[in-house]
Amino acid sequence: MHEFSLATEVINLVQREAQKRNAPVVNEITIEVGSLSGVEAGAFESALKLLSEGSIIENAGLNILRINGIGVCKTCSIEFEMMQRMESCPVCHAFPSEINGGNEFRVISMTIE
């Protein structure tokens, strides 16, 4: 499960940023997770809770923003939301020639005390 290694990296990143600002506590963390990123948000959240015990983010609220991919149909050129990689055009059922977004996994903000 790569969610554990991602959770470890998020904890390290947030702790480094909090230490730079002499913050004793992190109150909230917001993370974007793309629907095409391969990250299972529930497993990531569980891993983060487990691994953060005893750290300055142990009681931090976690906001996970889910970002859908946008496919561009190769046949009819419309854009459509993609929740999974093999999704086809809702109009003509062709596969997209281009996928924009949905691969995100990033910490976008944190609230410190």
Assign residue 38 the CATH number of its domain. 3.30.2320.80
Q: How much is the pLDDT for 103?
A: 94
How crowded is residue 98: how many other Cβ atoms within 10 Å of its Cβ? 10
Distance from C-alpha of 103 to C-alpha of 6, rounded to nearest angstrom: 14
Query: In 3D, which of 6, 3, 66 has the Cα closest to residue 33?
Result: 66
Q: How much is the pLDDT for 3?
A: 94
Could you report the average pLDDT of every consecutive run of 10 residues in the chain (113 residues)?
A: 91 95 95 94 94 93 95 93 92 93 95 90
Q: How much is the pLDDT for 85?
A: 87
Distance from C-alpha of 101 to C-alpha of 6, rounded to nearest angstrom: 19
Q: How much is the pLDDT for 26?
A: 95
Number of domains in the chain: 1
Domain carrying residue 13: 2-112
